[in-house]
Structure 1
């Protein structure tokens, strides 16, 4: 599939979460604003900073009716350890076969060696309202918060 762009409908997908349970996006689609972020790897400096931002803002996102979902190619076990180590209260999905990355059209960086870091904000109608692509984890924070607030 081509890259998902602003204005596109979010495709339906499912994956294993950090607890090994099946998670289907249809369970939250049309009920909440969704913040779906793809990141390169558990427990690396930028990815930890990004995850901890979502953790620290989690109550605010929750109060606004938003659901945060992190996705990387790490295993369920890696996600479980990452979530436990940093007390991450949101869903982490394992994309170990890179099918979700392909579905969303998330690019790779550094000559194709590093999985990209892209954040999507999806409204309650299932329409993508923000696609933010930056390897700098901190650049995502203000844009995502601003977009989620504007959709409330």
Structure 2
């Protein structure tokens, strides 16, 4: 399937993910000291960050006009929508910071080089973390799915306060509303 538009999605035609309980253990967890490379050339250890951190994880961003990873990508519940989710966090970035987020990160298992192209194309004001080696994914037992020989993170968002997960948004659907949900939670739950 050719993905001409990554942003214009009819969410009524996309199967919604169900809450399978795969993220239930995350609330209250201490983030393990795993260091991850970012699209801005840094290495970040989420466990060491002071203040309130937002991490939104997604399976895999696509590229306009490129063939999807698998033909039935849109039929995998929760797979479609990485670019709309990312753009929503980009568009609400200033509001998220004003509402108490010290830092915001995207997270996927894609390589930093792949993510850097996407970050530049979408003009992201925040870095994206690469867990290509699945270190954080395994250490936190993040919900994943397998497709085309790849392990991909199921879409979720985490609020982390001084290295401890305070809030988990899972499942996330539709993805383009996730940033707004996180923003509303931040306003209702100041640090």
| Alignment TM class, shorter chain as reference | 0.7 to 0.9
Measured after TM superposition, the shift of residue 43 of structure 1 is: 2.9
Pair 1:37 & 2:56 matched: yes
Aligned with residue 17 of structure 1, among 13, 19, 38: 38
- Greater Cα radius of gyration, structure 1 or 2: 2
Other-structure match for 1:106: 142
User: Which structure 1 segments of 5+ residues have no match?
Assistant: none
Q: Measure the CA separation in 1 of the matches of 2:47 and 2:144.
A: 27
- TM-score, scaled relative to structure 1: 0.82
Other-structure match for 2:187: 149
Task: Report which stretch shifted further, 141-150 or 96-105.
Answer: 141-150
Q: Measure the CA separation in 1 of the matches of 2:176 and 2:129.
A: 21
Structure showing the higher strand proportion among its residues = 1
Q: Measure the CA separation in 2 of the matches of 1:35 and 1:130.
A: 10
- TM-score, scaled relative to structure 2: 0.67
Task: Report which stretch shifted further, 75-84 or 132-141.
Answer: 132-141
Contact 2:108 2:132 in 1 (8 A): yes
Alignment partner of 1:5: what SS?
coil
Other-structure match for 1:5: 26
User: Which structure 2 segments of 5+ residues have no match?
Assistant: 1-21, 64-79
Contact 2:85 2:177 in 1 (8 A): no
Matched length: 146
Alignment partner of 1:20: what SS?
coil
Measured after TM superposition, the shift of residue 135 of structure 1 is: 5.0
Change (3 A) 1:145 1:135: closer
Per-residue CA deviation, residues 41-80 of structure 1 (Å, 9 max, x unaligned), is 1236511001101100001112233111111011111111
CA RMSD across the alignment: 2.2
Per-residue CA deviation, residues 104-144 of structure 1 (Å, 9 max, x unaligned), is 211124xx435311111123x43322111225313523431
Counterpart mapping for 1:1-152 below 5 A = 4-26=25-47, 29-30=49-50, 32-43=51-62, 46-66=81-101, 67-109=103-145, 112-113=146-147, 114-123=152-161, 125-136=162-173, 137-152=175-190
